[in-house]
């Protein structure tokens, strides 16, 4: 499973693409002219005229690691070039790799310059291709380190001495020492001066915003209070370093027990350690996110139940975001697993995935075109064709040149979203229109299963597990 050498292909790509010209290029999105993306009510706006920004995006967690090897940089260029050719304007990726074989941060406060230069390159290329970057600062899960690695560092920190008797990865959210490591990571990344562009990350308009963590969850405090207090500490801290970029916690959208939360709407109706509403109201939080993996979250249910869950999940978050948050909402990850077909029937898994893609994008467009808070998303995950990429396949990959149907669905959606932006510019009132009542969806009394909560929690982790698996393979 080791990625194969791709020197020949890469050198051809590098010759064909003037990536060294990053500084002089100016793109439609992420360009220097328009400044930082801002939030006004439930809209993202940019530029002096407050142009409304709708986001058509993708996930590619592998960009920094790939670019840390100069011989592999052509792949990053290809990813951005393909995305841009399909009208996309947002990439979500990792600005962390904690410990392990290819660390950005090998131990607290110790950084690897080759990885940082990889991230520099990614940011410069994103700007050149007119693509905003949503950069995530650590992981809830063990891939690329994450909170388990942070807690391990604290356990091994002899200098810090006694008092750090940490027993679980959940201590990440509560230990003063671990929180100091995390804050140092935030500060180091945000104050980094890009070696390609000369611009400090915190001043770079190509960066859409910061995500505090990929998919925070917590078993120690399942109703959401601990993650919330962590967000309430970290978000204002981040803003003291970078008051200009947008910030979001990185939530999947699970409801806790705060006011207006409805845990019955969660997969299997149980807690995952986060509050959707209260945590998105934390000081310094600018926009909300949800993720969407109906088939793995509700493994073992019928297609019909999953479809109903999808409608409920989307509609309830649109409604709650509008009613209780008044900020924009992005579906920062969604995917349909290709390798295990739970549905059978005549349609193949790819065709079903493409239909799912269309359904999600239609829901986004429906909200955006009505002035609702759901104004964009990013599918999980974009891969390239050919050399060295097979090891990154995780059953969710979309390879634009090969997956023609998916590619055309994405292009068409990007186009429609760009048209909305133009319409807003022509008639600004549309952008201020209120979200009308969401479709009423109800009467699913029979859908809930009697599966034990722990089994359910495990099943919900499936999505992350499968995705962990791929990154593991990628790291081998």
Active-site positions? 215, 333
Name the phi and psi angles at 94, rounded to 5: -85, 130
Going by the DSSP 8-state scheme, the letter that residue 268 receives in this structure is: G
Per CB under 6 A, the segment of 4-12, 70-78, 218-226, 450-458 that binds ligand NAG is 218-226
**Interaction pattern, residues 281-320, with ligand NAG; x per rule: CB under 6 A:** ---------------------------xx--x--------
447 contacts ligand NAG (rule: CB under 6 A): yes
> Binding of ligand NAG at residue 240 (CB under 6 A)?
no
Q: What part of residues 23-52 is at the interface with ligand NAG (CB under 6 A)?
A: 40, 50
- Which of residues 342 and 350 has its CB atom nearest to ligand NAG in the complex? 350
- Contact between 323 and ligand NAG (CB under 6 A)? no
Q: How far apart are the first and last CA of the chain?
A: 7
**Binding-site string for ligand NAG from residue 61 to residue 80, where x marks contact by CB under 6 A and - marks none:** --------------------
Structure token digits, residue 174? 């509560």
Contact criterion met (CB below 8 Å) for 343 and 299: no
Of residues 33, 113, 156, 264, which one binds ligand NAG by CB under 6 A? 264
Comparison of 187 and 319: residue with beta carbon closer to ligand NAG: 319
Contact (Cβ atoms closer than 8 angstroms) between residue 192 and residue 112? no
> Which C-beta is closer to ligand NAG: that of 432 or that of 434?
432
Pairing of strands 43-46, 51-53: antiparallel
By C-beta, is 352 or 467 nearer to ligand NAG?
Answer: 352
- Residues in contact with ligand NAG, counted by CB under 6 A, come to a total of 22
Dist CA 188 CA 193 (whole Å): 10
Spatial contact of 380 and 467, defined as CB atoms under 8 Å apart = yes
CA gap 313, 291 in Å, rounded: 10
221: contact with ligand NAG by CB under 6 A: yes
Nearest to 379 by CA among 415, 332, 310: 332
Among residues 222, 231, 264, 267, the alpha carbon closest in space to that of 250 is found at 231
428 binds ligand NAG (CB under 6 A): yes
Closest C-alpha among 293, 288, 365, 361 to residue 328: 288
- Positions touching ligand NAG (CB under 6 A) are 40, 50, 165, 167, 174, 220-221, 226, 264-265, 308-309, 312, 348, 350-351, 428, 432, 441-442, 444, 447
């Amino acid at each position: 499973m080791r990625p194969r050498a791709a020197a020949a292909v890469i050198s051809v790509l590098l010759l064909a693409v003037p990536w060294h010209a990053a500084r002089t290029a100016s793109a439609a999105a992420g360009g220097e002219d328009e400044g930082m993306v801002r939030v006004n009510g439930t809209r993202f706006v940019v530029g002096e005229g407050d142009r409304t920004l709708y986001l058509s995006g993708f996930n590619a967690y592998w960009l920094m690691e790939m670019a840390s090897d100069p011989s592999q940089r052509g792949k990053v260029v290809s990813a951005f070039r393909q995305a841009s050719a399909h009208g996309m304007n947002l990439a979500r990726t990792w600005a962390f790799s904690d410990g392990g074989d290819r660390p950005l941060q090998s131990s607290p406060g110790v950084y690897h310059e080759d990885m940082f230069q990889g991230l520099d390159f990614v940011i410069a290329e994103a700007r050149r291709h007119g693509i905003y970057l949503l950069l995530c600062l650590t992981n809830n899960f063990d891939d690329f380190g994450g909170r388990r690695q942070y807690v391990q560092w604290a356990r091994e920190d002899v200098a810090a001495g006694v008092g750090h008797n940490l027993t679980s990865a959940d201590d990440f959210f509560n230990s003063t020492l671990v929180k100091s490591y995390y804050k140092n990571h935030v500060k180091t990344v945000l104050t980094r001066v890009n070696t390609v562009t000369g611009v400090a990350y915190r001043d770079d308009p190509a960066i859409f915003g910061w995500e505090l963590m990929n998919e925070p969850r917590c078993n120690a405090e399942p109703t959401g209070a601990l993650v919330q207090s962590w967000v309430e500490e970290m978000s204002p801290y981040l803003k003291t370093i970078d008051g200009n970029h947008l910030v979001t916690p990185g939530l999947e959208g699970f409801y806790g027990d705060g006011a207006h939360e409805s845990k019955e709407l969660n997969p299997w109706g149980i807690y995952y350690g986060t509050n959707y509403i209260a945590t998105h109201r934390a000081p310094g939080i600018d926009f909300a996110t949800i993720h969407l993996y109906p088939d793995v979250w509700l493994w073992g249910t019928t297609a019909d139940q999953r479809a109903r869950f999808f409608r409920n999940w989307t509609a309830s978050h649109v409604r709650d975001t509008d009613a209780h948050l008044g900020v924009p909402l992005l579906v920062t990850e969604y995917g349909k697993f290709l390798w295990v077909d739970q549905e059978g029937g005549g349609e193949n898994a790819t065709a079903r995935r493409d239909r799912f893609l269309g359904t999600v994008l239609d829901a986004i467009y429906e909200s955006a075109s009505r002035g609702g808070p759901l104004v964009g998303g990013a599918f999980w995950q974009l891969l390239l064709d050919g050399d060295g990429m097979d090891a990154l396949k995780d059953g969710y990959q979309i390879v634009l040149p090969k997956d023609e149907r998916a590619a055309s669905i994405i292009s068409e959606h990007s186009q429609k979203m760009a048209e909305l932006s133009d319409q807003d510019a022509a008639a600004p009132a549309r952008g201020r229109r209120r979200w009308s009542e969401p479709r009423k969806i109800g009467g699913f009394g029979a859908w809930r299963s009697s599966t034990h909560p722990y089994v359910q929690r495990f099943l919900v982790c499936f999505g992350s597990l499968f995705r962990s698996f791929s990154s593991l393979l990628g790291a081998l």
